[in-house]
Amino acid sequence: MVAAPEAADDDERQLAVKAARWRDLMVPFDAPVPTIFPSPSEHYRLRAEFRLWQTKGERHYAMFAAGDKRTPILLEQFPAASTRINALMPLLQSAWQTTPTLSTRLFQVEFLSTLAGDALITLCYHRRLDAAWQAAASELARDLQVSIVGRSRGQKCVIGRDHVIEEMRVDGRLFRYRQPEGAFSQPNGSVNQAMLAWASAALGERDDDLLELYCGNGNFTLPLSTRVQRVLATEIGKSSVHAAQANLADNAIDNVTLVRLSAEELTQALNGVRPFRRLAGIDLHAYRFGTVLVDPPRAGLDAATCELLRRYPRIIYISCQPSTLAANLAQLQDTHRPAHCALFDQFPDTPHLESGVLLERRK
């Protein structure tokens, strides 16, 4: 399906507005003009979640406008989602319409797909899942060539795998990622590819070490590990830590030490405030950190972690909230200056905008 010209024009106008707001926030820091990476107008979302709404005896995919949980928007297709998700939607709908074992008390459906073509469907129920459900779901998984996860209160049934496999090519090397069901992964695959390439170029070839906070499933860790001597990466979410460990092993990357600590805890450890058993056997002082990469949540960096970053020559800051990025840059501006900037339109048709800033120590 080709996007209508007017839709593409609307996306461009909206991105221009978001970029202008971002530049206004960066004026106090004399930030250079950012490189802008737009999103495709359609089929850019690799994840989609739908409630099911029953009308005239049939269930339909439904979404709701922000702040309105009473007026469903019934869908047959969802152009923002990947082509794989759109292909699966009518096939799954046909299955639940003809198989009561699959449809009884089914209230939500979640799709997870990849640029590499893998797909997983999560079916959420208000009932226990029994052997009959397992048999029907197994047949459906074979027919659709997907993995299926069934969820009900206190119950998770996996048919196939509980993750999908993504592939990203950065600097000529192909990296494979396990992306677990229910855990965070970048929703816009093509823009994520651009983010990885930009971060790799911003880092460059280094003869020192990289400190990475909020590493998630290793999205940035894998390609950036090839550009430095060693990496110390931290993440607090258990499922993300397990996925990152598997991804490092799957890609034969052996120069990364992954520690399950929050950014705040690692700051305490580096400042000698308190010891952590999870750091047993790791000599923090043996690292030569030349660059720190941070990819914090919308709340940004806490004051202590931001203060920690001032020690290091270079900071790559990946931001999903421009206002908190600006607040953190205000704390860093007397020691660091923005050298390169980029904008990534992960979420077209929304006010959200991701950005990357390479900060270098002032001379």
Active site residues: 320, 354
CA distance 153 to 203: 44
CB 123 within 8 A of CB 99: no
CA distance 117 to 140: 18
Q: 29: closest CA among 305, 334, 308?
A: 334
CB 118 within 8 A of CB 104: no
List the structure tokens of 193.
């590819």
Sole residue written with tokens 């960096």? 301
- Consecutive H or E run containing 173: strand 173-180
Tell me the H-state helices in the chain.
5-26, 83-98, 100-103, 131-144, 189-203, 221-225, 238-250, 263-270, 303-309, 322-332
Amino acid letter, residue 41:
S
CB 230 within 8 A of CB 255: yes
Sole residue written with tokens 């900071």? 315
Q: Phi and psi for 211 in degrees, rounded to 5?
A: -105, 125
Cβ count near 262 (within 10 Å) = 16
Amino acid letter, residue 177:
Y
Q: DSSP readout, 303-362?
A: HHHHHHHTTSSEEEEEES-HHHHHHHHHHHTTTEEEEEEEEE-SSTTSS--EEEEEEEE-
Collapsing DSSP to helix, strand or coil, 223 comes out as: helix
Collapsing DSSP to helix, strand or coil, 270 comes out as: helix
Cα 7 off chain centre by: 25
